[in-house]
Amino acid sequence: MDFEQDIKNCIKALEAGGVVLYPTDTVWGLGCDALNEQAIDKIFTVKKRPRDKSLIILLADARDILQYIAAPPPDIIDMIGRFAKPTTVIYNGALGFPDNLVHEDGSIAIRVTTDPFCKALIKRFQKPIVSTSANFSGEPTPATFDMINKELIASVDYTVQYRQDDRVPRQSSQLVRIDDEGNMEVLRP
C-alpha cells in the first residue's frame, strides 16, 4: 500500500489551488482545498456543476467537526463512530468555509473518512478537502476508475495512481441530516 508519491503530488496540487482526482472510502472523487474559494470554483467548472448544488467535505478525524460546525450535538463524535458504512452528514451552522462551499441555508455536508489514503492526505495537508463524485454533473457516478470520463481526467491537475486498478465497484455514501439536538434523518440510505 504505497501511496507516498501520490500524497506528495496531491498536496502540491492542492496547495497551488488545483483539483485532484482521487480514491475515497466510497467512489473516486474530485477534490480541492475546502478553504480556497478559487479552488472550489474550479471544481464547479471541471464538474460542470450548478453552483447551487452543494459539495461534500472530507475530514480525517471526527473531532475536527467541532472546528467547522457552530452547534454540533454534544455526542456527535460517538454518533459518527457508530456509523456502519461511509456516511455524509449535513450539519447546520457551517463555520470557516468560503461562501461558495456553504449551502444557502448555512449547512455543510461533511464525511469523516476511514480510507487510509484519504486520512493520510487530509492529515498531511492539514485542512479539509472537497469530495464530489468524479463525473460531469448529471452523468452516472462511476463505480471504478476505468469508468471515469477521459475528458474529466484530462481536466484535473493531478490524478492519483493508487487504486486505479481496483475493480471493486463502490457506491456513494449514505446521506443523513443531523440537527443541533442530535436528531437524525436519513436522506439517502
Q: Which CATH architecture has domain 4-188?
A: Alpha-Beta Complex (3.90)
Q: What is the DSSP letter of 33?
A: B
Contact 156, 30 (CB under 8 A): yes
Q: What is the pTM of this model?
A: 0.95
CA distances from 88 to 2, 8, 113 (A): 27, 26, 9
Per-residue pLDDT of the chain (189 residues; tens, 9 = 90+): 589 999 999 999 999 999 999 999 999 999 999 999 999 999 999 999 999 888 999 999 999 999 999 999 999 999 999 999 999 999 999 999 999 999 999 999 999 999 999 999 999 999 999 999 999 999 999 889 999 999 999 999 999 999 999 998 888 899 999 988 889 999 999
Strands 158-159 and 129-133: unpaired
